[in-house]
Structure 1
Amino acid sequence: MTEEAVAAAFEEQRGRLVALAYRMLGSRADAEDAVQEAWLRLARQDADAIANLAGWLTTVVGRVCLDVLRTRKAKPEASYDDQLPELVVTEDLDGAPEDDAVLADAVGLALLVVLDSLGPAERLAFVLHDMFAVPFEEIGQIVGKSADASKMLASRARRKVQGPHSPTDERRQQRTVLDAFLAAARTGDFEGLLRVLDPDVTLRTHTPRGVVVRLGATEVATRVQRGANTNITARRVLVNGEPGIMSWAPNGNPLSLMACTITDGRITDILSITDPAHLATLDLPPSTPKDS
């Protein structure tokens, strides 16, 4: 196989490999690095001796990702908590299709949170098998375990994830919760805010000065209440397919983006971005919705 043929074969696999690595690592940059490492290793191999190039590349990328995940676990000081995943922000219009094609490659924030709670081998087994249909025999070769042990890893991870995609009725409930939150926030209804916030809610705000964390419904409601009765526009959006809220200044400039995790009818976690520099890097909807 010529160098050109090897490069062409690799490019055919690149999109799948990046998507696979992204779901394992939660970072587009890290995913690109993992795939580039696979290319460098392929360049050192005799491609004619590789019977199944797609399987070989999947194994290499899987091992690279596993090493990265293990390094993160071993070095907690190199935490990714203050880093943001790639964000896809779209309109959340009643009646819009839930599986909008623009979200096809986005990893839901709620799923990323759950995946981060898994051990490296669990995460790899779940992503490779459940999302990319890689056989457990191949997964076992990557993690150094038997096929049966790999199957147990994926099963354990599956129980923790419990299905990342919300059914239609749950999406309606999420919209109801966000509408109630927005109504209470606009009027400064403190009790109304407490009704939709989980008692142990966490608010992480990415500001120009760094990340500010607020814990508990009372503290979060107090912070939200301070912005009541201001002349801003705010409405529901989707952030990586999950419920969120976007706000704009009177001149139409984006002020903040919030991604919310909703469980049992209450907001349990809020990721907020108020840093203008980061907001400027996102493809955000305009202050006036498309259907208005």
Structure 2
Amino acid sequence: MSDTSPADLVAKTFEAQRDRLRAVAYRMLGSHADAEDVVQEAWLRLSRQDTAAIHNLAGWLTTVVGRISLDVLRSRQARPEASYDDRLPELVVTVDDGPAPEDDVALADSVGLALLVVLESLGPGERLAFVLHDLFAVPFDEIGQILGKSADAAKMLASRARRKVQTTEHPAPAGRQQREVVQAFLAAAHRGDFEGLLRVLDPEVKLTADTPGGVVVVLGATEVATGAQSRAAAGAAVRGRAVLVDGLPGFVSWRADGTPLSVMAFTIADGRITGITVVTDPARLAVMDLPEPE
């Protein structure tokens, strides 16, 4: 005879679903912290339910996480002064072990930085319908219930979102060519080679930097190259290593005392850098899970 109580079984089942629920919320919200909050709220709601009346606990939890996430998205939309657009998506940094043979033909990771940026352009209903159906195979009738719409209406929202996602150019993941372009950029910056920087930067390149003073955007190859020269001339970084940032080629640099100086992620198309994301805010760097310097 088992000593496991019904409450223990529910808690065990919830823990088994936690990673999937967190993934759903993260793809909806683009923030690990917000995703954790949503999952915790789902647990609190579950603890107040008569679980004997829940026939499909995984489905029930997905629905609750979807509804809470939808509320968060609508709240962001209703309060432009607290808009999430002023924050960069949270970045996942991993060691770059070099290109695998399939890297040069693979598409970007569907949960990477590029898709999160595209998802930010979708309305809350479109985003929920696309994420739940296309990424997690939730049926449209269940999505419709979350949205308060019919299954056909949910299907139309997902279809509209899919078209927007498909018509937005996705960068390829870090293959050989992408790594070479990044290496050329870093080498030119280190040498102070302005012309070399311009050769690898797209004329319309956009640099987005998360600094202690907030998010700063720099547009155009000339401005980005000038800034790269200035940072290299300052000479604060003494160590660095190539990494992957949400599947895209990147670079982490450290000061002499071992504290991280910056994380950079590069978006590359047609052999040129079209976008650079930089994090230099010490507070944000301190909570990022970064690899050790080489």
Is 1:258 the counterpart of 2:264? The answer is yes
In structure 2, the residue matched to 1:117 is 121
1:98 shift after superposition? 7.7
- Taking the aligned partners of 2:46 and 2:256, their CA distance within structure 1 comes to 54
User: Aligned pair in 2 of structure 1 residues 42, 164: CA closer, same or farther (>3 Å)?
Assistant: farther
Corresponding letter in the other structure for 2:68 = V
For 1:201-240, what aligned pairs fall within 5 Å after superposition?
201-228=205-232, 230=235, 232-240=238-246
Which structure 2 residue ranges, 5 or more long, are not aligned? Answer: 104-108
In structure 2, the residue matched to 1:63 is 67
In the TM superposition, what whole-angstrom CA distance separates every residue of 1:247-281 from its partner, at most 9, and x where no partner exists? 23355543211122223333222221123333232
In structure 1, the residue matched to 2:179 is 175
1:194 shift after superposition? 1.9
- Select which of 3, 7, 10 maps to 1:3: 7
In structure 1, the residue matched to 2:35 is 31
- Select which of 152, 155, 159 maps to 2:156: 152
User: Aligned pair in 2 of structure 1 residues 51, 76: CA closer, same or farther (>3 Å)?
Assistant: same
- Taking the aligned partners of 1:55 and 1:26, their CA distance within structure 2 comes to 22
Q: For the Cα contact (< 8 Å) 1:70–1:120, is it kept in 2?
A: yes
- Select which of 134, 138, 143 maps to 1:139: 143
- Taking the aligned partners of 1:232 and 1:18, their CA distance within structure 2 comes to 37
In structure 1, the residue matched to 2:284 is 278
- Taking the aligned partners of 2:64 and 2:257, their CA distance within structure 1 comes to 50
Instruction: Provide the TM-score with structure 1 as the length reference.
Output: 0.85
Is 1:248 the counterpart of 2:254? The answer is yes
Which structure 1 residue ranges, 5 or more long, are not aligned? Answer: 100-104
Deviates more, 1:220-229 or 1:60-69: 220-229
- Taking the aligned partners of 1:106 and 1:208, their CA distance within structure 2 comes to 30
Q: For the Cα contact (< 8 Å) 1:258–1:273, is it kept in 2?
A: yes
User: Aligned pair in 2 of structure 1 residues 278, 254: CA closer, same or farther (>3 Å)?
Assistant: same
Q: For the Cα contact (< 8 Å) 2:171–2:268, is it kept in 1?
A: no
User: Aligned pair in 2 of structure 1 residues 164, 131: CA closer, same or farther (>3 Å)?
Assistant: farther
Other structure's SS at 1:226 match: helix
- Select which of 106, 123, 130 maps to 1:126: 130
Other structure's SS at 2:34 match: helix
- Percent identical among aligned pairs is 70
- Taking the aligned partners of 2:120 and 2:264, their CA distance within structure 1 comes to 20
Q: For the Cα contact (< 8 Å) 2:171–2:267, is it kept in 1?
A: no
User: Aligned pair in 2 of structure 1 residues 285, 51: CA closer, same or farther (>3 Å)?
Assistant: closer
User: Aligned pair in 2 of structure 1 residues 114, 255: CA closer, same or farther (>3 Å)?
Assistant: same
User: Aligned pair in 2 of structure 1 residues 133, 18: CA closer, same or farther (>3 Å)?
Assistant: same
- Taking the aligned partners of 2:59 and 2:24, their CA distance within structure 1 comes to 13
Corresponding letter in the other structure for 2:246 = N
- Taking the aligned partners of 1:270 and 1:83, their CA distance within structure 2 comes to 15
- Taking the aligned partners of 2:34 and 2:257, their CA distance within structure 1 comes to 37
In structure 1, the residue matched to 2:106 is none
1:84 shift after superposition? 4.2
User: Aligned pair in 2 of structure 1 residues 189, 235: CA closer, same or farther (>3 Å)?
Assistant: farther
In structure 2, the residue matched to 1:197 is 201
Corresponding letter in the other structure for 2:245 = V
Q: For the Cα contact (< 8 Å) 1:246–1:258, is it kept in 2?
A: yes
1:221 shift after superposition? 0.9
- Say how many residue pairs are matched: 282
- Taking the aligned partners of 1:265 and 1:128, their CA distance within structure 2 comes to 34
1:285 shift after superposition? 2.5
In structure 1, the residue matched to 2:58 is 54
1:72 shift after superposition? 1.0
Q: For the Cα contact (< 8 Å) 1:110–1:242, is it kept in 2?
A: no
- Select which of 79, 86, 92 maps to 2:90: 86
In structure 2, the residue matched to 1:43 is 47
1:235 shift after superposition? 4.4
